[in-house]
Amino acid sequence: MSLALLKEHYTNKNIIMSTKNWPLWEVFVRSKNGLEHRHFGSLHAADAEMALENARDVYTRRNEGVSIWVVESKDITASNPEHNGELFEPAQDKVYRHPTFYDLPDDVKYM
Amino acid sequence: MSEEQIKNLEKQFEERIARDEKIEPKDWMPDKYRQTHIRQMSQHAHSEIVGMLPEGNWISRAPTLRRKVALLAKVQDEAGHGLYLYSACETLGISRDALYEQLHSGKAKYSSIFNYPTVTWADMGAVGWLVDGAAIINQVPLCSTSFGPYARAMVRVCKEESFHQRQGYEIMLKLTQGTPEQIDMAQDALNRWWWPSLMMLGPTDAESVHTEQSMKWKLKRKSNDDLRQQFIDQTVPQAELIGLTIPDPDLKWNEERGSYDFGEINWDEFWQVVKGHGPMNKERMKARIDAWEGGEWVRDAAMAHAEKKAERKIKQAI
Amino acid sequence: MKNENLYNYILGIADNSLILGQRLGELTGHGPSLETDIACTNMSLDLFGQVRSYYQYAAKLKGGDATEDTIAFLRKERDYVNVLLVEQPDRDFAYTMARQFLFDVYHLLFLQELQKSHDITLTAIAKKSIKEVSYHQRFSTDWIKRLGDGTTVSHDKMQEAIDSLWTYTDELFHQTAADKAMVAEGIGVDVTALKVKYYSLVNAVLEEATLKIPESKWFQKGGKKGIHTEHFGYILSNMQYMQLAYPNMEW
């Protein structure tokens, strides 16, 4: 088959191509005990078991983990960056939540 | 949104990038930024998975067990890197399947260098040394690119890839320490891969369409010609160290520039290969399409099983 | 050779992993999804890792110029003693997973016994390999269930793969002369004793996967005596190509 024909074949095939693609999962890995699970990336899998297996094979090939969480990406609710102003900026001027807000004499110890 | 509002948003957006702020997937972004990123990241991902094929070609024939496991691990990494990059693309709302379609239909490009055949074992050395070497030069600056998911994927890729080039160079080194036949094999591979590797760093700046915009978005930190010069300057001494000759009669150290001058690149050949007339374009595409179409029933079965399993779980609960 | 029985015994274990690893390696870049591709390469890498430990040990026993590579690459067709099952080709993903599963179940049972061996090197290799092979078995078992239970197409393909490969399962439990000698010395595993457990484990998975357990009582054998299927010569001509075309060189 020529490349052109091959392309045509593929384009035609798309019309009847299956739409049941494996959903996307987010992978969280604990690198070692004592540390939190951290977002490592994502992958595709048909179900949770497969997602765990795939995560092990894809994201811990170099001994990167001792524990894995997977969650289907669609189940994550994310904040909208357009609301960042109302969500996060009000915290910016609440300096009294930080220890440096309070003036204490330098010779106070253990504080 | 009015035109003025959009202009204003764009201005703020460019300022954020100029301040070295990262852009995350759900942030507002100009459509061009989105499209350019989908194009570049997917092209990068496609290159990784098409790039598995020329090296995969030698897995079953690797000469020793040590070489075999190293090559297997390397090609496997390329699958991983493709996966990280497809995932980065998917954060912009395009599915991996759609990206595959673009690849298979010829709409999306991948690095042309993978359209050359791997003819001898020495090609495993040359590909690792030169092709990965050129790739690293391209990739390291991307670790600080403006789009967060791309930058994060590249950090992981660069970390993992540090062994790839060494693996290739070690193969070459061993060959050059071997019999005359092995030395010839190494030189022959260098002869065949040298020029395609130079082309891999992209058309000359004069011909390059996207450079200025890409610089602004930190998709590119240096021009193609600068990258090429950097690659040549660091690779020539590596070749000399193992007694191989760069196949370029015009190659000469330029004291004044502190760089090597080099001969004319055959850009005709480059564009021919890009257009699909390279020695292996057709085979590479066929291998990818076969794997994808041939795997469709497998993927469907896994989904069907997952659905049945979920249904059974619900029934049990009732 | 002083330890000829032990040497042959080790080859009997390692050749299986070598040929199965080689088969899995051929798939790299051609898997049904990127994730599955990566997983199969991982299994191949595990198997080659095991092979290297076994052959390095065998090379020490053999002495002289023997290395892991002379043992892996420089024997003739009749000198490889892997079972016929592992050399069967990857006709499709169902065959690949069925072959993997039918071998993994045996492999894990075998290693669990091998870790009780009186030979400390073999015990150490077995202990390390058990972890890897437990994962292989979990992976292939899941795929047997997925494809068996999945769609009509996948069910039929998996049934066909199991039916075709079934004939190679009985050989796993045949004892060679080296086996018998090593069992007598408390070094080797009595494979005949694994058979009942093997089929009960395999059958349980097949049932769960809605697959029919093949009824045929006709089994192929020969691999353990170096009489292979026709596929084997091609595996060797690939695998040995470099060593034969460029003899006595360092790579």
pLDDT tens, B171-189? 999 999 999 999 999 999 9
Asked if residue B127 has pLDDT above 80, the reply is yes
Question: Are the Cβ atoms of B26 and A81 closer than 8 angstroms?
Answer: yes
Chain A residue numbers with beta carbons less than 8 Å from the beta carbon of C34 are 44
Least confident piece of the model among B89-93, B113-117, B201-205, C198-202: B201-205
pLDDT at site B317? 85
Average the pLDDT over B214-223 and give the result. 90
Q: Which residue has the higher pLDDT, B1 or B297?
A: B297
Q: How many CB pairs under 8 A join A and C?
A: 28
Return the sign of the alpha-carbon dihedral for residues B221, B223, B227, B233: negative
- What domains lie within chain C, and their CATH numbers? 4-245 (1.20.1260.10)
Asked if residue B211 has pLDDT above 90, the reply is no
Asked if residue B79 has pLDDT above 90, the reply is yes
pLDDT at site C240? 98
pLDDT at site B205? 84
Chain C residue numbers with beta carbons less than 8 Å from the beta carbon of A27 are none
Q: How many CB pairs under 8 A join B and C?
A: 142
3-state helix, strand, coil in chain B (%, to 5): 70, 5, 25
Local confidence band at B221 (pLDDT 50, 70, 90 cut-offs):
confident
How many alpha carbons lie under 13 Å from residue B106 in its C-beta half-sphere? 17
pLDDT at site A19? 55
CB under 8 Å, gap of 24 or more: what pairs does C178-182 form? C178/C5, C178/C6, C178/C8, C178/C9, C178/C12, C179/C9, C179/C12, C181/C5, C181/C9, C182/C5, C182/C6, C182/C9
CB of A43 within 8 Å of a chain B CB? The answer is yes
3-state secondary structure chain A: CCHHHHHHHHHHHHHCCCCCCCCEEEEEEECCCCCCEEEEEEEECCCHHHHHHHHHHHHCCCCCCCEEEEEEHHHCCCCCHHHHHHHHHHHCCCHHHCHHHCCCCCCCCCC
Mean pLDDT by 10 residues, chain C (251 residues): 93 98 96 96 98 98 97 98 98 98 98 98 98 97 98 98 98 98 98 98 98 95 98 97 97 97
The answer to whether A68 touches A60, Cβ cutoff 8 Å, is yes
| pLDDT, tens only, B304-316 | 999 999 999 899 8
Q: What percentage of chain B exceeds 70 in pLDDT?
A: 100
- What domains lie within chain A, and their CATH numbers? 22-75 (3.10.20.520)
Question: Are the Cβ atoms of C38 and B304 closer than 8 angstroms?
Answer: no
Closest CA to B259 of B282, B236, B281: B236
pLDDT at site A4? 55
Average the pLDDT over B92-100 and give the result. 95
Between CA C230 and CA A23, with CA C90 as vertex, the angle to 5 degrees is 180
Query: CA-based Rg of chain C, rounded to a whole angstrom?
Result: 18
Question: Are the Cβ atoms of C35 and A61 closer than 8 angstroms?
Answer: no
pLDDT at site A87? 87
Helix axes B65-90, B31-56, angle to 10 degrees: 160
Number of Cβ within a 10 Å radius of residue C77: 13
Average the pLDDT over B83-102 and give the result. 96
Outline where B91-147 has alpha helix (H).
96-104, 122-126, 132-139
Phi, psi of B266 (to 5 degrees): -80, 85
pTM: 0.93
pLDDT at site B199? 96
Q: Residues of chain C whose C-beta is under 8 A from some C-beta in A?
A: 33-36, 38-39, 42, 135, 138-139, 142, 146
Per-residue pLDDT of chain A (111 residues; tens, 9 = 90+): 455 555 555 444 443 444 578 999 999 999 999 999 999 999 999 999 999 999 999 999 998 999 999 999 999 999 988 888 888 988 888 888 888 889 999 888 888
pLDDT at site A2? 52
Question: Are the Cβ atoms of B83 and A13 closer than 8 angstroms?
Answer: no
Q: What percentage of chain B exceeds 90 in pLDDT?
A: 89
